[in-house]
Every structure is written in C-alpha cells, then in structure tokens.
C-alpha cells in the first residue's frame, strides 16, 4: 500500500474554478490563492484564531491539508517538502502559542535558505496590542528570521499579499515569509480578485545576472592557478545549478568539495570530488583548502564549521565567491573576485569561456594521493554495532538512491560522511541552526513531495524524542518513511565534546531512561524492529525495506564512538584530530 499523498490537481479546469470572481470570505480567498500558487499540500494545526480558515477547508476537496501533532512538526514537514521538491513549503498555525511554536522551524529555514510561506492566525484587529487571549506579536518576534512578513489589515489585500509572499520566498536568496491574518480578516467577505501576473515590487529586485567582467576574471584566474579548488554549497542545489556545476568541472577539471548542505550537488563517486570540508570533513578537503592558490566558493557562505579559525583559513588562496546574496560576499572571508548572481546563471555563462586548468596536473595528483592515504576510517567490531557500519549498510542496500533526512548530532555527521549522494535534493538536514527534532518530520514532508522514492530518516535517540508524536501521521496516512534510530543512550555529540575538550566531565548527557522505541512505534501503529549486532541489523533493515508502510528500526550502537576527523574550535581546519584509526 502506498502513501496517501495528495495528487497534484492543477488542471486548467480547476484553475478556472479557483479563479472565479465572486464574493467570498478571506479564508476562502486564502485557500484559492494557495492553490493558484501551485500548492498541493499544506501542513498545519488548528486553533481559535484560524477556525474560519479551517472551516473553509471543510468539504473543499481540492485543498489538501495534513494534520500534524505539533506545530513544530508542521513547519519541519513543510521545510522537508520544500527541500525535497524545490517548491515553496506551506504551514498553518493559530495565534499565540501556535505561532510561537513555529519560531524554531522558521529560524531553521531562514538559516538554510529554504522557501516557506508560514501562515498564522491572530486575534481580531481591534484586540491587537491589548494582550488578548492567545495574542502574540508574531511578526515582531520573527522579524530577524524571516525574509519578509505581513500583518493583513484588509481582506482585499489578501490575494496580492499571498502572491507576493510566494515570489519573495522563492526568489533571490530563498527563505521564509510570514503572513499573519487576524480572525476578522479571515471572516470578512469581498470580491475575489485573483493575482496571477508576475510580481513587481519596488525595493525588491534580486540580481541574477552577474557582471561579465568578473566572470572573465574568474576564467583568467583558473588559467593562472596551479592549485585551484572549488567549495560548493547549498546554493548550487537551490538554484538548480547542479548540471551546470558538473559541466564546469568537466571543462576545468578542478577538484571539488561540497559542504554539508551542498551534498548531492556533485556526484560523490566522481574522482575529483574530495568529500565534505570543515569540522568533520575529510582530510583531503581540508588540506586542499589550506594549500590552494585559488579557492572558488560557489553558493556557500563560509560558515564557521567550514572555515575553522578565520585567521588561518585558505592562507595561500585568491578567493572567488559566487553568491546571489551580496551580503554574504566578504562577510567572513575577504574576497578577491566577487560575483553576485544566481549560481546556475553564473555557471552557465562561465561555461562558455572557461578552459581546463592546465597548470594543475601536479595538484590533481596530490589530491588523489591525499584521498588514498587518508579516507574516512573507523575501527569496526563484531561484538557491538558501530554507527558508521550501519550508515554504510543503508548506503549499500539503497545504492545511494534514497532521500535521506537527519536530525542533529553525531548520527548527522556519520550520515554525511558514509552515505554517498549522487543527486541533488536527496540530503535534507538542519545545517545552520542545527535543530534537534528536525529529522523525522522533515522526512514526512520529503515523502509527501516524492511518494515514489524511498525516504530514510536517520535520528539519534535524543532528537527522535523531540518530535516522535509525528509517528501518528505516518501510521494514519500510511506514509512509508523508514525511520532509523541510532541509539547510543547518550547525547553523543555533547559527550564527545565533554570527553575531548572538557576533560571527561560528563554532565547531564545520560539518555538511558529513554523509552523503548520499538514499543513507542507500535503504540502509534508503526512497525518497530530492533538490532543489536550485524546479523540482526541486516535482517531488520531488509524487513524494513520489504515492508510497504512506515517502519522504525532501532539500531543499538556503541556508546563511546566519536566522529572523526574533528577540528576543535579555535583551530585551523588542517589541525585535525584523526582519532583512533
């Protein structure tokens, strides 16, 4: 039995029905406008301030809504949907606590440049500012973590605002937009005036075309470089620029690393790919950055987990930075050749003129030598399950073709290190904010976006408990996410830091009192399996793959395992702890 996932029904006949000019409520305007924007699935949780909106959904068969069990689950699911599909994710919550429960998810999307339209209800307009029941200034609270926000004062403005919100969320540097709708506005009636024309907003005109002279400078720098290296980030995926990037590498033959959010932007099996850089990146990637004479940043933001100590980052390199957000260029790392523009567009223009980096043959040989000498390593065991081995099992049995979501912690880094991604939008994780509780509900959204694909949610035993109630959605709707829990009975990444940096002072990290995850899954109506050794692991995982519906598999793994390599804070990225190899 497949997941009960809504069909996309945006036929011209339906569009004409939705665009019919008639007097309707603000709530009906909202639903019709969302459908006209191509929305085929909304995640939400009702409450008093949005009851008119939910009443409008009653009997509205064209509008598909998924009831989550917590507002945070709703926004993380919308986030996963957006990352997996490339479309705008949408969620709805009521005023006050419903709206504030979305804040972590909004910040998660903002940090990772994920397009969301977040719809909240508010108290009636005359009560705004009076501390009314379940009132919160959600536009004020979220101002630092949204691209833009609207407080709708007039129902006639609603079609325009919704149309603008989708435009803002999904253009330029993408991100979340909030629409706050007072209850009286959702109840008011007016003549529906659908908005379908291209949006033109004064003061908002993201630059997509680069300065051609800067692209010429890039091409010249490649010809002059002896040790060129590419750092590619999530911007490649968000722009749809992965094919243009592949062509750029084919023409220049420059080695490439992809950041945590950039995994899948370039095939992991390619000989010029060096793995992930930074705090838990490969030896090769970090050495290449530190020894490069030309570092080309394509759609990454020089995050501190990538750069390490800034004063010693890429000390020999001329820096090229390609990004659609001019605020990122030069923010952390001084830039020699800034190129502002859409990554896909910039690469397509560059591909017309770039040539092979002919002076870099010795450099390419050095890259291959580092890769051969210092791959990811761990000490395997036949007595206890090693988490790295489990991720390798997932990769081998799925041939790297699954959509993988993760929570945050050690398991996130092991998944990034040992699962090999060859396609964009196959890796979904909270990078900038590092949000525990993100992994499982984001997998639900990803599965809704791609019902035909295998979706694996990899979680730790800590993060799994933060949104475990969303198991109900999988059971009720038969959403076939395969939920992996790497249970080491401890807050693993915190324990690792306390071991290595805080002299083994283990403070408040014991999760041994956690629930029986198999029983927890079964309580929600989801099949639960457990494995404590390799034989059990292989059998349980194969059973999970053979089961058409959702399955949770708990892998009981080694408690003391650390993520290596590791660059401690305050160190340059070539000062790596390689661990016990």
What was the pLDDT predicted at 439?
98
As separate numbers, helices (DSSP H) first and strands (DSSP E) second, the chain gives 23, 19
**Token digits for 546?**
């053979």
Query: Kind and range of the H or E element at 245?
Result: helix 242-252
Order of all β-strands in the sheet with 294-298: 256-258, 228-232, 294-298, 318-323, 337-340
Tokens encoding 270: 């390619």
Residue 48 CA to residue 42 CA, distance in Å, equals 18
For the annotated catalytic residues, the residue numbers are 71, 133-134, 183, 493
Dihedral over Cα of 535, 416, 286, 107: its sign:
negative
> 410-418 and 387-398 helices cross at what angle (nearest 10)?
40
pLDDT at position 17 is 84
Contact yes or no for 150/180 (Cβ under 8 A): yes
**Kind of pairing between the strands at 527-531 and 551-556:** parallel
Query: Residue 580 has what pLDDT?
Result: 64
Mean pLDDT, range 115-128, rounded to an integer = 97
Model confidence at 224: pLDDT above 60: yes
Whole-angstrom distance, CA of residue 578 vs CA of residue 581:
7
483 pLDDT more than 70: yes
From residue 240, give the alpha-carbon distance in Å to each of 116, 246, 322, 352, 440.
17, 12, 15, 18, 25
Residue 421: pLDDT over 70: yes
pLDDT in tens, 24-54: 999 999 999 999 999 999 999 999 999 999 9
Res 500 pLDDT > 90:
yes
The predicted-structure confidence for 514-532, as pLDDT tens digits, reads as follows 999 999 999 999 999 999 9
Tokens 């004063």 identify what position?
A: 311
- The model's pLDDT over 275-303, given as tens digits with 9 standing for 90+, comes to 999 999 999 999 999 999 999 999 999 99
- At 20 the pLDDT is 86
Q: Lowest mean pLDDT: which of 197-206, 252-261, 490-499?
A: 197-206
pTM of the model: 0.96
571: which residues sit within 8 A by CB, 6+ positions away? 308, 309
3-class DSSP assignment, residue 176? strand
Kindly indicate the confidence band of residue 4, based on its pLDDT and cuts at 50, 70 and 90. low
Mean residue pLDDT of the chain comes to 96
Query: Beta strands of 293-397 (E only): which ranges?
Result: 294-298, 318-323, 337-340
- Average of pLDDT values for 373-379? 94
Mean pLDDT of 488-502: 95
Give 187-243 as a DSSP string.
H-EEE-----SPP-BTTB----SPPHHHHHHHHHHHHH-SSEEEEE-HHHHHTT-HH
Work out the average pLDDT over 110-116: 98
Instruction: Of 408, 444, 430, give the one whose Cα is nearest residue 526.
Output: 444
- 35: Cβ–Cβ under 8 A, 6 or more apart, which residues? 10, 14, 15, 18, 62, 63
Both tokens of 339, joined, read 């190129």
What percent of the chain is predicted at pLDDT more than 90? 94
Per residue in 149-176, pLDDT (tens digit) is 999 999 999 999 999 999 999 999 999 9
The answer to whether 371 touches 284, Cβ cutoff 8 Å, is: yes
Name residues whose C-beta falls within 8 Å of residue 241's C-beta, 6 or more positions apart in sequence: 235, 265, 298, 299, 342, 343, 344, 347
- The whole-number pLDDT of residue 581 equals 52
| Confidence check: pLDDT of 2 > 80 | no
Please give the full DSSP string across 67-136, using - where no structure is assigned.
E-SSHHHHHHHHHHHHHHHSS-EEEEE-STHHHHTTHHHHHHHHHTT--EEEEEEES-GGGTTTT-TT--
Q: What is the mean pLDDT of residues 458-476?
A: 97
> 50-108 pLDDT, tens per residue?
999 999 999 999 999 999 999 999 999 999 999 999 999 999 999 999 999 999 999 99
Q: What is the pLDDT of residue 465?
A: 97
Span 477-500, mean pLDDT?
96
């Amino acid at each position: 039995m497949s997941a009960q996932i809504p069909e996309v029904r945006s036929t011209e006949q339906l569009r004409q029905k939705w665009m019919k000019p008639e007097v309707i409520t603000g709530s009906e305007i909202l639903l019709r406008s969302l459908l006209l924007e191509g929305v085929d699935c909304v995640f939400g949780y009702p409450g008093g301030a949005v009851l008119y909106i939910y009443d409008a959904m009653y009997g509205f068969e064209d509008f598909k809504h998924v009831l989550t069990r917590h507002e945070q689950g709703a926004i993380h699911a919308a986030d996963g949907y957006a990352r997996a599909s490339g479309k705008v994710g949408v969620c709805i919550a009521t005023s006050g606590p419903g709206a504030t429960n979305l804040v972590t998810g909004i910040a998660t999307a903002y940090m990772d440049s994920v397009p969301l339209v977040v719809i909240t209800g508010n108290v009636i307009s005359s009560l705004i500012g009076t501390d009314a029941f379940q009132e919160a200034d959600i536009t004020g609270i979220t101002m630092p973590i949204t691209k833009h926000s609207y407080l709708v004062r007039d129902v006639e403005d609603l079609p325009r605002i919704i149309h603008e919100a989708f435009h803002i969320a999904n253009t330029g540097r993408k991100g979340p937009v909030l629409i706050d709708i007072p209850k009286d506005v959702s109840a008011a009636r007016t003549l529906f005036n659908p908005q379908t024309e291209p949006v033109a907003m004064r003061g908002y005109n993201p630059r997509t075309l680069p300065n051609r002279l800067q692209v010429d400078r890039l091409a010249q720098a490649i010809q002059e470089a002896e040790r060129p290296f590419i750092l590619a980030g999530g911007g490649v995926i968000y722009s749809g620029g992965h094919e243009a990037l592949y062509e750029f590498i084919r023409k220049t033959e420059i080695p490439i690393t992809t950041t945590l959010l950039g995994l899948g932007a370039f095939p992991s099996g390619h000989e010029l790919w060096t793995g992930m850089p930074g705090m838990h990146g490969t030896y090769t990637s970090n050495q290449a950055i530190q020894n490069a004479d030309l570092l080309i940043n394509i759609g990454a933001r020089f995050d501190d987990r990538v750069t390490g100590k800034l004063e010693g980052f890429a000390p020999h390199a001329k820096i090229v930075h390609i990004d659609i957000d001019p605020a990122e260029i030069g923010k952390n790392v001084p830039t020699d050749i800034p190129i502002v523009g859409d990554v896909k567009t910039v690469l397509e223009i560059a591909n017309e003129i770039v040539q092979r980096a002919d002076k870099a043959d010795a450099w390419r040989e050095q890259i291959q030598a580092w890769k051969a000498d210092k791959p990811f390593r761990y000490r395997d065991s036949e007595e206890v399950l090693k988490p790295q081995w489990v991720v390798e099992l997932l990769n081998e049995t799925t041939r790297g073709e699954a959509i993988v979501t993760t929570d945050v912690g050690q398991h996130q880094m092991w998944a990034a290190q040992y699962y090999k991604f060859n396609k964009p939008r196959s890796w979904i994780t909270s990078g900038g904010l590092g949000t525990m509780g993100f992994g499982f509900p984001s997998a639900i959204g990803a599965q809704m976006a791609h019902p035909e694909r295998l979706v694996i949610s990899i979680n730790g035993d800590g993060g799994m408990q933060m949104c475990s109630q969303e198991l109900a959605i999988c059971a009720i709707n038969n959403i076939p996410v395969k939920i992996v829990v790497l249970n080491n009975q401890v807050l693993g990444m915190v324990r690792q830091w306390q071991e290595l940096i805080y002299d083994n002072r283990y403070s408040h990290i014991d999760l041994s009192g956690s629930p029986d995850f198999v029983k927890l899954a079964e309580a929600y109506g989801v099949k639960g399996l457990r494995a404590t050794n390799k034989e059990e692991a292989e059998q349980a995982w194969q059973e999970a793959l053979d089961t058409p519906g959702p399955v949770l598999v708990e892998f009981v793994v080694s408690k003391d395992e650390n993520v290596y390599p590791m660059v401690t804070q305050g160190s340059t990225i070539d000062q790596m702890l390689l661990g016990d190899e």
